Amino acid sequence: MNRVPSQEVRIERRANFRRRLLLVVWLGAAGFILWRAGSLQVGEVEFWRAEADRQHRTQAEVPAPRGSIRDRNGLALAVSFERFRVSVAPQEIAGASGGREELQEILTEILDLAPGEAERIVSSERRWVVIPGRYPPHVREALSGVQGIYVERELTRSYPHDGLARAVLGSVVDGRGRDGVEQAFEERLRGEPGLEVKARDSRGRAIPGEVWTVRPARSGGDVVLTLDLDLQEIVREALREAVEETGAAGGDLLVTDPRSGEVLAMVSLSADGSTDLSSLHAPYEPGSTLKPFTVAALLSRGLASMGDSVDTEDGRWTTQGRTISDVQRVGTVTLERALQVSSNVGIAKLAERLSPEAQYEALRDFGFGVATGVGIPGEAAGILRRPRQWSRQSQASLAIGYEIGVTPLQMAMAYGALANGGLLMEPQLFRELRSPEGSVTDRFEPRAIRRVVPEDVAREVNRALVGAVEEGTGSRARLTTFSVAGKSGTSRAHGGAGGYATGGYYASFVGYFPADDPQLLVFVKLDRPQGEYYGGATAAPVTRATMEAVLASRRAPIDRGSLARLERRVVQEPSLSEMSSAPPAVTLASGALDPWEAGTASSPTTAGATSGTSTVGEERSPDTRAAVSVPEVAGLSLRAAVRRLHAHGLRVRWPEGGGVPCCRTGVDGTVPAAGETVSRGDTVQIRWLARPEGGGGGSPPGDERNE
């Protein structure tokens, strides 16, 4: 007979069960923990290690130092340089030798911090303190190895000659090139970025000094331009003075080598002194500076010769319901003389021999209506409409430089084709590309785009343009020792309503020298000059001043041996005036008539303009042998003195036995003295201002440079 367990036995059994169950639970939990730990430590170790690294370390791209941009002589125009940020970890200083007092002295001496500021930094309770400001490389060397101090490298883009070519160079924004050369050669200049790992604290902030380089950055390559820094400085100064003296709203000045197409200097200025790239971006109606291309088109197609006569009547001629006017009556003249005195009537009459297609083709061949391909972003193509879009008056308008939009660079390259014998050259702004190690990887050679006119035609036009300077509308660009070929132009500036601005003109001049073997071509355009606004009166003198300053510079990119031979020949041979059988030069009236007489039809406009009138007024300058007063140059730099004397039509000679002014600081005076009356073309001797005792070496005129 079974006995029922007692109450005590039942209680004991339940307790044992609970203990066994609890043991199983604990053993299961412990087994799970051991399994999970093993899984984390073995199976998932790589994942969690990467996660830990992600939280406490970050990868960052290291920007490469951008390559430099240099002028043709290797002088830096844009460079990248290192600057350094300094951080202090105050908690690491306590155990350092010397402690906080020594570190405070180091910060005060090397970083030039105030004692109170240095004390505040080293006594801070923060983990680290970033010192404001950026420091040069010598600071990194001085602080190297100092416990508790961390130095981090940063890159800064610098333009050592900021005002000289900044618009051409462009800029760097957020590490990428913007505009100009910086954008055009972004891939070449920026190099290959590196990779580094930085440690971060629990708040995600970078820990100074905890940086590991994974892949070093590779510097960008260098870009060498055709620009000449000295010439760029000469051009900027000449244009700045011209804008100030004429009250113009701005202007453009370019210097090129017509043989190679190299752009040696290019400056565009506004009245406030700011620079831009209107030489490439802003087309304008050229006016009379386009006439040589009309003449070249006639000659190259056998439709006229320079000796052909044209009756300019009484200075007014009506065609297709519109009256074209000259400033002064010149009667019956040859085509050559019509170009020299810039007769609107004469050129427009003879241009009727061209078919619209031939006239369009001739202008297109000279590069108008298409971008030059200079390689700078944003270059304008200009405006040259196809013949089917012309009006009845378009042919006459184009003959004298209206209904067409050209950029200064297009005009300079087109004149270069006349100067070099008929070859249109591609403008060359880039000379070489170099590797980070300095070796040349690419070299840009001169490239002829096409032959636009035969050599004999170019020579004939060249001879007429020499006459335009010697006896025509460009006489204020005349040099005393070298023959200059050139042409002036005056055209109406556009206003805001699509028509022409009242009283607003563009005054321009294009000249090259020596005319027998051109080495330099100078283009000048002034935007809305006040007072005298004719190209021959305002822009031609700037061309002359630029040429004279180039000749005065001892580093100018010219062949002085060739110039010396030409100078001797010019001195020995009779002048153009003595040989010429042309009628006397026409003295033009001070007032100007519009070439398009109002009242008969709407005036010629470029595409998109609705109305207005165009004007030409090519004033002839006074005789260059007229009496002038020697200007005051005492106290000026040598370059400024030479430029001022040349601007007055005077030649310059160094003192006998004076040698190169390498140890002088400036000019003491002249012989003859300032204020004395001499004739244009006379020679003035400069007196040096001696450098004080103990002074260092100087530079000859034209070599002053802010390195």
Flag whether pLDDT at 462 surpasses 80: yes
Q: Tens of pLDDT along 122-179?
A: 878 777 788 888 888 778 777 877 777 888 778 888 898 877 888 999 998 888 888 8
Examine the domain organization and report whether 150 and 283 are in the same domain. no
Angle at 438 between CA 436 and CA 440, to 5 degrees: 105
Flag whether pLDDT at 276 surpasses 90: no
- Kindly give the pairing relationship between strand 316-319 and strand 520-527: unpaired
User: pLDDT tier at 428 (50, 70, 90 boundaries)?
Assistant: very high
Q: Tens of pLDDT along 514-547?
A: 988 899 999 999 999 998 888 888 998 999 988 8
Q: Tens of pLDDT along 543-557?
A: 998 888 888 877 788
pLDDT of residue 71: 93
pLDDT of residue 456: 95
Angle at 178 between CA 177 and CA 183, to 5 degrees: 60
pLDDT of residue 696: 36
Mean pLDDT to the nearest integer, 385-390: 95
Q: Which of 175-184, 267-276, 488-497, 647-656 has the lowest mean pLDDT?
A: 647-656
Candidate ranges 375-384, 499-508, 691-700; pick with highest mean pLDDT: 375-384
Examine the domain organization and report whether 215 and 236 are in the same domain. no
Mean pLDDT to the nearest integer, 560-571: 66
Which strand (E) or helix (H) includes residue 441?
A: strand 440-443
Residue with tokens 């961390």: 150
Evaluate whether residue 420 is within a structural domain.
yes
pLDDT of residue 664: 43
Evaluate whether residue 288 is within a structural domain.
yes
Report the alpha-carbon distance of residue 233 to residue 230 in Å, rounded: 5
pLDDT of residue 486: 93
CB under 8 Å, gap of 24 or more: what pairs does 276-279 form? 276/167, 277/167, 277/168, 277/179, 277/180, 277/376, 277/378, 278/250, 278/252, 278/408, 279/252, 279/254, 279/407, 279/408, 279/409
pLDDT of residue 563: 76
Examine the domain organization and report whether 145 and 255 are in the same domain. no
Examine the domain organization and report whether 233 and 219 are in the same domain. no
Examine the domain organization and report whether 19 and 33 are in the same domain. yes
Q: Would you give the DSSP letter of residue 43?
A: I
Contact 479, 497 (CB under 8 A): no
Evaluate whether residue 603 is within a structural domain.
no
Report the alpha-carbon distance of residue 517 to residue 513 in Å, rounded: 7
Report the alpha-carbon distance of residue 579 to residue 570 in Å, rounded: 13
Report the alpha-carbon distance of residue 252 to residue 523 in Å, rounded: 8
pLDDT of residue 615: 37
The residues that bridge with 78 in the sheet, in sequence order, are 69
pLDDT of residue 383: 95
User: pLDDT tier at 498 (50, 70, 90 boundaries)?
Assistant: low
pTM above 0.75, yes or no: no
Report the alpha-carbon distance of residue 436 to residue 68 in Å, rounded: 9
Q: Which residue has the higher pLDDT, 142 or 381?
A: 381
Evaluate whether residue 615 is within a structural domain.
no
Mean pLDDT to the nearest integer, 558-573: 66
pLDDT of residue 168: 92
Q: Which residue has the higher pLDDT, 630 or 497?
A: 630
pLDDT of residue 691: 45
Evaluate whether residue 586 is within a structural domain.
no
Q: Which residue has the higher pLDDT, 706 or 51?
A: 51
Alpha helices in 144-259 (DSSP H): 162-169, 180-184, 186-190, 229-246
Domain count, the chain: 4
Cβ contacts of residue 237 below 8 Å, gap of 6+? 549, 643
pLDDT of residue 148: 77
- The beta strand positions in 237-390, using DSSP E, are 250-257, 262-270, 309-311, 316-319, 322-325, 332-334
State which amino acid sits at residue 60.
A
3-state DSSP assignment of residue 339: helix
The residues that bridge with 406 in the sheet, in sequence order, are 284
Q: Which domain holds residue 503?
A: 229-573
Mean pLDDT to the nearest integer, 427-450: 94
Flag whether pLDDT at 703 surpasses 60: no
Cβ contacts of residue 25 below 8 Å, gap of 6+? none
- Count CB neighbours of 391 within 10 A: 15
Examine the domain organization and report whether 29 and 67 are in the same domain. no
pLDDT of residue 301: 95
Examine the domain organization and report whether 215 and 238 are in the same domain. no
Examine the domain organization and report whether 208 and 141 are in the same domain. yes
Q: Tens of pLDDT along 37-86?
A: 777 777 777 777 777 666 667 777 777 889 999 999 999 999 988 888 88
Evaluate whether residue 307 is within a structural domain.
yes
- From 195, 223, 251, the end of a domain falls on 223
- Kindly give the pairing relationship between strand 627-629 and strand 651-653: unpaired
Residues in the chain: 707
3-state DSSP assignment of residue 112: coil
Q: Which of 274-288, 319-333, 493-507 has the lowest mean pLDDT?
A: 493-507
Q: What is the CATH number of the domain that holds 667?
A: 3.30.10.20
Token readout for 414 is 């087109």
Sign of the CA dihedral with 376 first, then 377, 379, and 385 last: positive
Please choose, from the candidates 615, 566, 22, the residue with its C-alpha nearest in 3D space to the C-alpha of residue 285: 615
Evaluate whether residue 508 is within a structural domain.
yes
Report the alpha-carbon distance of residue 254 to residue 268 in Å, rounded: 9
Mean pLDDT, the chain, whole residue set: 80
pLDDT of residue 216: 82
Report the alpha-carbon distance of residue 8 to residue 16 in Å, rounded: 13
Burial class (CB in 10 A: 0-12, 13-18, 19+), 647: middle
Examine the domain organization and report whether 291 and 262 are in the same domain. yes
Examine the domain organization and report whether 218 and 234 are in the same domain. no
- From 157, 191, 223, the end of a domain falls on 223
Distance between alpha carbon 258 and the CA centroid of its chain, in Å?
19
Report the alpha-carbon distance of residue 82 to residue 137 in Å, rounded: 7
Examine the domain organization and report whether 514 and 657 are in the same domain. no
Cβ contacts of residue 76 below 8 Å, gap of 6+? 68, 69, 70, 160
Evaluate whether residue 611 is within a structural domain.
no
User: pLDDT tier at 577 (50, 70, 90 boundaries)?
Assistant: very low
Report the alpha-carbon distance of residue 428 to residue 443 in Å, rounded: 11
Q: What is the CATH number of the domain that holds 112?
A: 3.90.1310.10
Q: Which residue has the higher pLDDT, 230 or 406?
A: 406
Examine the domain organization and report whether 657 and 563 are in the same domain. no
pLDDT of residue 618: 41
Report the alpha-carbon distance of residue 541 to residue 183 in Å, rounded: 35
- From 530, 545, 573, the end of a domain falls on 573
Q: What is the CATH number of the domain that holds 239?
A: 3.40.710.10
